Amino acid sequence: MSRSGRKFQGQRGPAAYPGPAWNARPWPGVSELSWAGRLHHLALRRRRLIAALFLCAAAAIAVEQLTPASAPTTAVLVASRDLPAGHPLTATDYRIQALDPAMVPDGLLDPHNPAPRDGRLSGPVRRGEVLTDAALLGSGLLTGAPAGSQAVPLRLSDPSTLPLLRQGQLVTVVLSSAEGLEAAATTVVLAEKVPVLWTPGDADAGEGLLPGASDTEPVVVVAASPEQAVQLAGAINRGKVFLILLN
């Protein structure tokens, strides 16, 4: 065998990589590196990353604590479009909307049962207006009136008064009558400061609040006490009925 061959046989290969020094031998004063020690050492090496994670978590908790909770709401019915007085309320005329409980009016209609099948509006309603029992013809027409108030239709002798009237207008009802053709007419106040509930101008063509009443007939509805209602009922048969408009 040649000299170079003998030299190659006696040469050893490279030594195996023993791994990182911190993993190969224990820390000074420690016989063996425990799992707790390894975790501690890893935490020291990744301390910046861990600190950033803790800061992100703290920021998220702070934002959650500072974000106000969702305010409670109440489901209400609002008109989906402008509706005329006397209009029969149907499911296409309203929509459900969430509203602050502090802004919910009294007499709110049940969103699941808004009106009877033949319910009609007692007055015009604007789009977005909350629907209450006062918006429907019937007992709701007198909502807010003194206990015992009654709705009384009046046929006026002067139709030119109608364009001057509006819902809520206070009027004094006057009856003018005479005993004969030659006798002087006498004027009697039948009711003072009664509010107007409905006028023909509030009615839609063919959908008036009063059966048989059109938007051209001089008929209005007022709220009166039981005593006033007796005086007002059928007043047109005793003479001429006029209204005095009040502030």
For residue 82, is pLDDT > 60? yes
- CATH class for the domain made up of 68-144: alpha beta
Domain boundaries, the chain: 35-65, 68-144, 146-247
Q: What is the pTM of this model?
A: 0.49
Q: 105-145, pLDDT tens digit by residue?
A: 888 888 877 555 456 776 778 899 998 877 776 656 676 66
How distant, in Å, are the alpha carbons of 195, 201, 208, 218 from that of 163?
16, 7, 16, 10
> What average pLDDT does range 133-158 have in this prediction?
78
Judge residue 211's burial from the number of C-beta atoms within 10 Å of its C-beta, 0-12 exposed, 13-18 middle, 19 or more buried: exposed
Question: What is the distance between the alpha carbons of residues 65 and 194, in angstroms, rounded to a whole number?
Answer: 56
> What average pLDDT does range 140-164 have in this prediction?
82
Q: 15-32, pLDDT tens digit by residue?
A: 655 555 555 555 555 545
* Residue bearing the bigger pLDDT, 133 or 3: 133
